[in-house]
Amino acid sequence: MDLHLTDKVALITGASRGIGKYIAEALAREGCAVGICARSEDDLNETATHIRDAYGVSVYTEVADLTQSDTPGTFVEKAAEALGGVDIYVGNVGGNLRGDFMELSDDDWDAIIDLNLKSHVRASRAAIPHIRNAGGGSICYISSIYGRELGGAGLTLYNTTKSALISMGKVMAQELAPENIRVNTVAPGSIRFPGGSWDRRVKENPEAMQAFVEENLPIGRFGRAEEVADAVAFLVSERASLITGACINIDGGQSHSLI
């Protein structure tokens, strides 16, 4: 299936490594110029060099801490100028801070809300005028199955912010549909890739993680970052032209929610 993504411009946050890097790579493979950002310059440069060499597309990089109020917008504006506009925004950056509800401080809440929600508010607000100028396009947020259902004790920050991201995308989809801008969310389950959090846990405690897989992952293995990236590439492409306001599980059957 040709996704018709050649020469589109896609911006992906938190894409020096992990799922964001795989998404940038999948979009570059389809012919997109990509703008990527993260805090570590070395990781960013390594990823950018790899993508340029492998796919021959333009790559814009920006060293940015997206929890700072002005950096998401600055990233979008500079990337748009360097790459000639924006067609696609993928809000991937996100993280977790475990803790009992009663132990979490205002600073903890602010930090994770800034990272998991407000970075995407700010980057989207900057990207939408460019997407409008392009005559339409697509936004995709990376939430989690724990934005759709209970993650468990200690996950108030993660659960709350990942649910909020799905909510925000759903409302934005309604507002932006008349302008040919589609907004969707994906909800990955447990995704393992080299250097990622699940990879670390498997290496630290292989027996417990084998039991986790058997109990929780019906397909009998962790998800792969490439599987998330391929679904995102389809969703942001015109081949998904009727899909907006959706949240798609990418979890091998891990989640239990009926909605």
Ligand X SMILES: NC(=O)c1ccc[n+]([C@@H]2O[C@H](COP(=O)([O-])OP(=O)(O)OC[C@H]3O[C@@H](n4cnc5c(N)ncnc54)[C@H](OP(=O)(O)O)[C@@H]3O)[C@@H](O)[C@H]2O)c1
Supply the residues annotated as catalytic. Answer: 158
Pick the binder of ligand X from 9, 16, 124, 159 (CB under 6 A): 16
Pick the binder of ligand X from 43, 62, 87, 227 (CB under 6 A): 43
| Distances from the Cα of 256 to the Cα of 62, 81, 146, 150, 259, angstroms | 38, 43, 10, 9, 9
Using CB under 6 A as the binding rule, the residues of this chain from 179 to 198 that contact ligand X are: 188, 190-191, 196-198
What pairs with residue 161 in β-bridges? none
* Cβ-based neighbour number of residue 32 at 10 Å: 29
- Contact by Cβ (8 Å): 191, 225: yes
> What binding mask, one character per residue, do residues 126-145 give for ligand X by CB under 6 A, x or -?
----------------x-x-
**175: phi then psi, degrees, rounded to nearest 5:** -65, -35
**143: phi then psi, degrees, rounded to nearest 5:** -95, -130
Our CB check for ligand X shows the closer of 99 and 196 to be: 196
Minimum distance from residue 66 beta carbon to ligand X (Å) = 4
Binding of residue 69 to ligand X (CB under 6 A): no
* Cβ-based neighbour number of residue 70 at 10 Å: 9
Piece of the chain touching ligand X by CB under 6 A; list 3-11, 31-39, 48-56, 98-106? 31-39
Piece of the chain touching ligand X by CB under 6 A; list 35-43, 177-185, 203-211, 239-247? 35-43
Minimum distance from residue 79 beta carbon to ligand X (Å) = 13
Structure tokens at 172: 């934005």
User: Site residues (CB under 6 A) for ligand X?
Assistant: 14-20, 37-40, 43, 64-67, 92-95, 115, 142, 144, 188, 190-191, 196-198
